[in-house]
Amino acid sequence: MKDPGVVMVGGGLAAQRAAETLRRRGYEAPIRIVCAEPDPPYDRPPLSKQVLAGGAEDESVSYRPAWWYEEKGIELLLGVRAEALDPQARTVLLDCGVALEYGKLLIATGSGPRRLPFLDHANVHALRTLADARRLRAELVPGARLAIVGAGFIGQEVAATARHLGVEVTIIEALDTPLEPIVGAHLGRWFADLHLEEGVRVITGAMLESARGGERVEELILADGRRFECDAVVVGVGTAPATRWLRGSGLDEGGVHVDTCGRTGLPDVFAAGDACVPFDPRFGVHSRTEHWDAAAWQGAAAAKAMIGEYPGTPPLPSFWSDQYGMRIQCVGHPHLGDAVVLDGDPAERDFEALFTRSGVPVAGLAVGRPRSIPALRRRIEGSDRFAPEPKEEVA
Ligand SMILES: Cc1cc2nc3c(=O)[nH]c(=O)nc-3n(C[C@H](O)[C@H](O)[C@H](O)COP(=O)(O)OP(=O)(O)OC[C@H]3O[C@@H](n4cnc5c(N)ncnc54)[C@H](O)[C@@H]3O)c2cc1C
């Protein structure tokens, strides 16, 4: 019987890395990538930065040109959505009615933006896809009034890009300080001040209650009665794993738990990227990261595991954010820290922060200091209290 090969559901970073890894390591059976979007796999970080700013052609974010997939014998099923997984029949049901058989399956459907039910107007935007970036870009004209709901990293990057384009920006955040659950109140205030200095109106501790307008939102209304007129709205209130299609398959539709190699609890089914909740052997926890570095590593790791290779211990989680021409980088799990020590000058946007728990380094954040990250990483990796023995845990 013919080997049905590998099916990857979700044509983003994790799937791309997995496909490249398989072909590079001599895997010859069919590879099919099923992707709900019409575009071949592309890179998302530029969407809130260069693409939104109009400084990068849309095509420049593609990982590979179309001919590359042909040359490598990788079939792209674009504009096709997976609707269900049947692990007994070893098939994925597609919205075109086809039941696609797999030898091995990679779940790499990423995540989708959370929405607010009373904000579904024509000028309300989320930012996850190239199509989202194109739509939003058209609204960012000089003098336009943009309201950003949520001061997470996507909201903050959109604020920075919009300011660069001459847009009047208001950020509305429910927490008292942005990013407080991740970096703590002290650094959270630094992020709020950063945007204030750049001319952004930052409203914190504010519950958005309703919106006024017709087809387009004209005004946002807070629970305390304050009102903000706007021409466009970006909702950046977090994401949820795009795994609802797995309902009934036996896998967790709230994010697929995997071991360090991307294996799920189902035979020959792997998951990688934002859709998965991987096991971190250093900290002994399952933790979903939603960062580029993790999705890239996990995609390659799952591919190696599919062909019987051990991918090694996952690196510490890490991410970067670019705002106002400055790079912010983070490594480790800052939310696990109970203390933070700063070195440098936050007012000059030149500092690093070491997060510790009971005195043991668990994370580092560097602003304007890219060369600090390797040293911070070494300090965290050297803190053996959180790395007793690398544990393998299968979901
Ligand atoms: C605007 C933006 C900026 C970012 N900037 C940074 C940054 O600066 N630094 C950083 O570390 N990280 C950043 N990230 C995060 C990083 O891009 C993601 O962690 C990474 O793209 C995750 O890769 P993935 O393969 O898991 O998912 P994705 O790249 O999201 O790919 C998933 C794909 O699956 C498709 N899909 C979903 N459901 C189905 C289905 N049922 N059937 C078929 N296909 C489906 C989706 O349409 C999508 O194309 C950013 C993300 C965004 C959106």
242 Cα: distance to centroid of ligand 1 (angstroms) = 10
Nearest C-alpha to atom 19 of ligand 1 is from which residue?
Answer: 291
pLDDT tens for 338-364 read: 999 999 999 999 999 999 999 999 999
> What residues form DSSP beta bridges with 222?
208
Asked if 233 and 378 sit in the same domain, the reply is: no
Write out the DSSP string of 244-312.
GGGTTTTS-TTSEEE-TT-B-SSTTEEE-GGGEEEEETTTTEE-----HHHHHHHHHHHHHHHTT----
Q: Is the domain of 121 the same as that of 228?
A: yes
Q: Could you give the CA distance from residue 197 to residue 203 in angstroms, rounded to a whole number?
A: 14
How far does the centroid of ligand 1 lie from the alpha carbon of residue 378, in Å? 28
Contact 286, 280 (CB under 8 A): yes
Same domain membership, residue 356 and residue 302 = no
Domain annotation covers residue 55: yes
* 296 Cα–ligand 1 center, Å: 11
Q: How far apart are the C-alpha atoms of 351 and 121, rounded to whole Å?
A: 41
Atom of ligand 1 nearest to the CA of 294: 19
Indicate if 31 and 52 belong to the same structural domain: yes
Q: What CA–CA distance (Å, rounded) separates 367 from 342? A: 11
Q: What is the pLDDT of residue 86?
A: 98
Residues 12 and 105 in one domain: yes
Q: Please count the CA atoms within 13 angstroms of the CA of 190 that sit on its side-chain side.
A: 18
Which residues span the domain enclosing 58? 6-112+240-306
Asked if 20 and 84 sit in the same domain, the reply is yes
CA atoms within 13 A on the CB side of 284: 6
pTM of the model: 0.95
Residues 251 and 291 in one domain: yes
pLDDT at 384: 54
Question: For a pocket test of ligand 1, which of 8, 13, 249 has the largest count of ligand atoms closer than 8 A to its C-beta?
Answer: 13
Residues having CB closer than 6 A to ligand 1 are 9-15, 34-37, 44-45, 47-48, 81-82, 108-110, 127-128, 154, 242, 245, 273-275, 290-293, 295, 319-321
- Residue 339, domain member (yes or no): yes
HSE at residue 300, side-chain half, CA atoms within 13 A, is 15
**Contacting residues for 300 by C-beta, under 8 A, at least 6 apart:** 17, 18, 20, 21, 311
Q: Which atom of ligand 1 has the smallest separation from the CA of 46?
A: 3
24 & 91 share domain: yes
Give domain status of residue 185, yes or no. yes
pLDDT at 259: 96
Closest ligand 1 atom to Cα of 319: 11
Structurally, the chain folds into a number of domains equal to 3
Instruction: Determine, yes or no, domain membership for 317.
Output: no
Question: What is each CA distance from 214 to 22, 121, 145, 159, in whole angstroms?
Answer: 51, 8, 17, 25
128 CA distance to ligand 1 middle (Å): 7
**Per-residue pLDDT of the chain in tens (395 residues, 90 and over written 9):** 789 999 999 999 999 999 999 999 999 999 999 999 999 999 999 999 999 999 888 789 999 999 999 999 999 999 999 999 999 999 999 999 999 999 999 999 999 999 999 999 999 999 999 999 999 999 999 999 999 999 999 999 999 999 999 999 999 999 999 999 999 999 999 999 999 999 999 999 999 999 999 999 999 999 999 999 999 999 999 999 999 999 999 999 889 999 999 999 999 999 999 999 999 888 788 888 899 999 999 999 999 999 999 999 999 999 999 999 999 999 999 999 999 999 999 999 999 999 999 999 999 999 999 899 999 999 998 865 444 343 343 33
Looking up residue 87, the CATH number of its domain turns out to be: 3.50.50.60
Give, as one character, the DSSP assignment of residue 49.
T
Residue 125 lies in a domain: yes
Three-state DSSP at 157 gives helix
CA distance 142 to 165: 6
Query: pLDDT at position 387, please?
Result: 44
Final residue of a domain: which of 216, 237, 258?
Answer: 237
Query: Bridge partners of 353?
Result: 342, 365
* CA of 194 relative to ligand 1 center, distance in Å: 27
User: Distance between CA atoms of 325 and 345, rounded to whole angstroms?
Assistant: 17
How far apart are the C-alpha atoms of 203 and 165, rounded to whole Å?
21
CA of 273: how far to CAs of 197, 238, 296, 305, in Å?
A: 35, 16, 7, 15
pLDDT at position 388 is 39
Atom of ligand 1 at shortest range from CA of 272 = 26
Does residue 313 lie in a domain region? no
**Among 306, 334, 354, residue at a domain's last position:** 306
Residue nearest to atom 5 of ligand 1 (CA): 45
Are 151 and 221 found together in one domain? yes
Residues 229, 119, single domain; the answer is yes
Same domain for 189 and 145, yes or no, is yes
Among 215, 237, 259, the domain boundary falls at 237
Question: Which CATH number fits the domain that encloses residue 351?
Answer: 3.30.390.30
Q: Which atom of ligand 1 is nearest to the CA of 133?
A: 1
The percentage of residues in the chain with a pLDDT greater than 70, rounded to a whole number, is 97
CA within 13 Å, CB half, 329: 19
110 alpha carbon – ligand 1 mean position (Å): 5
391 domain residue, yes or no: no
pLDDT of residue 391: 37
Per-residue pLDDT of 118-161, as tens digits, reads 999 999 999 999 999 999 999 999 999 999 999 999 999 999 99
Same domain assignment for residues 108 and 246: yes
**Within-domain flag for 311:** no
Measured distance CA(178)–CA(204) in Å, rounded? 8
| Ligand 1 pocket mutation, candidates 76, 130, 274, criterion most atoms within 8 A of CB | 274
Per-residue confidence (pLDDT) for residue 394, from 0 to 100: 37
